[in-house]
């Protein structure tokens, strides 16, 4: 059984970037929904239930049962992506990446601001629902719906941004750009750096 992880901070902790109302709905309703539907889809399948979530998503391309594969992609992806997302933000976040990660971003993008601009631009380009990711090799990629790089046999991302409307509509209405701009103020660079060092 997969379980909904704790947020690790109060619902209101990311204000004003993200309201308590959004955090409560996003975590308690949306994320809980992914977990519940994933568990329902895997019921009776001991082999798949024994996998951790990264293994499960890594194997989704090999599952022939289309209905099951779709459930793992959507619900399992939703569970994994959101579990990361909560940790990739912090009330003490914002500012710039640090140490070697900052060096790597500077080397690839010329400056931290250029990286932010590129990531922001890519996140704006997602049509409909999806995610924008920073990969360990400093690539910035996007995936539709609740897909993520693991499903394509790629590495685990080190930073991700949820650009589904449910992530921002209550606070920013149709302005995804305002949400992304405010999100940079809560990015947990310590966590991103840890993930990258463990890459
Ligand atoms: Mn979401």
- The pLDDT tens digits for 10-49 are 999 999 999 999 999 999 999 999 999 999 999 999 999 9
- Could you tell me the two tokens for 38? 């994933």
Is it the case that residue 126 has pLDDT exceeding 90?
yes
Ligand 1 midpoint to CA 30 (Å): 7
Percent of the chain residues past pLDDT 70, beyond the cut: 99
Ligand 1 midpoint to CA 50 (Å): 25
**pLDDT tier at 93, thresholds 50, 70, 90:** very high
Percent of the chain residues past pLDDT 90, beyond the cut: 99
Q: Could you tell me if 118 and 112 are in contact, meaning their C-beta atoms sit under 8 angstroms apart?
A: no
Ligand 1 midpoint to CA 103 (Å): 30
Is it the case that residue 80 has pLDDT exceeding 90?
yes
Q: Could you tell me if 56 and 68 are in contact, meaning their C-beta atoms sit under 8 angstroms apart?
A: no
**pLDDT tier at 50, thresholds 50, 70, 90:** very high
Ligand 1 midpoint to CA 29 (Å): 10
Mean pLDDT of 151-164: 97
State the CB neighbour count (10 A cutoff) for residue 15. Answer: 17
Helix, strand or coil, per DSSP, at residue 133: strand
Say how far residue 92 (Cα) sits from the centre of its chain. Answer: 18
Ligand 1 midpoint to CA 178 (Å): 17
Q: Could you tell me if 136 and 144 are in contact, meaning their C-beta atoms sit under 8 angstroms apart?
A: no
- Averaged confidence pLDDT in the chain: 97
146: β partners: none
Is it the case that residue 198 has pLDDT exceeding 90?
no
Q: What is the arrangement of strands in the sheet containing 159-162, beginning at the earlier edge strand? A: 140-144, 130-134, 159-162
């Amino acid at each position: 059984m997969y379980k909904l992880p704790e947020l690790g901070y109060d619902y209101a902790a990311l204000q004003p970037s993200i309201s308590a109302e959004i955090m409560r709905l996003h975590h308690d309703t949306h994320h809980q929904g992914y977990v519940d539907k994933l568990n329902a889809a895997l019921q009776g399948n001991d082999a798949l239930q024994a996998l951790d979530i990264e293994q499960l998503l890594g194997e989704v391309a090999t599952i022939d049962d289309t209905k099951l594969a779709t459930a793992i992609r959507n619900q399992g992806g939703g569970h994994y992506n959101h579990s990361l997302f909560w940790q990739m933000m912090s009330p003490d976040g914002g500012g710039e990446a640090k140490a070697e990660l900052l060096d790597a971003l500077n080397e690839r993008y010329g400056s931290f601001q250029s990286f932010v601009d590129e990531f922001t631009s890519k996140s704006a380009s997602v049509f409909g629902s999806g995610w924008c990711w920073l990969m360990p090799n400093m690539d910035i990629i996007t995936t539709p719906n609740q897909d993520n790089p693991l499903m394509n046999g790629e590495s685990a991302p080190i930073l991700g941004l949820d650009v589904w409307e449910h992530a921002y509509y209550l606070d920013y209405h149709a302005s995804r750009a305002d949400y992304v701009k405010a999100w940079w103020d809560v990015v947990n660079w310590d966590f991103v750096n840890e993930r990258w060092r463990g890459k």
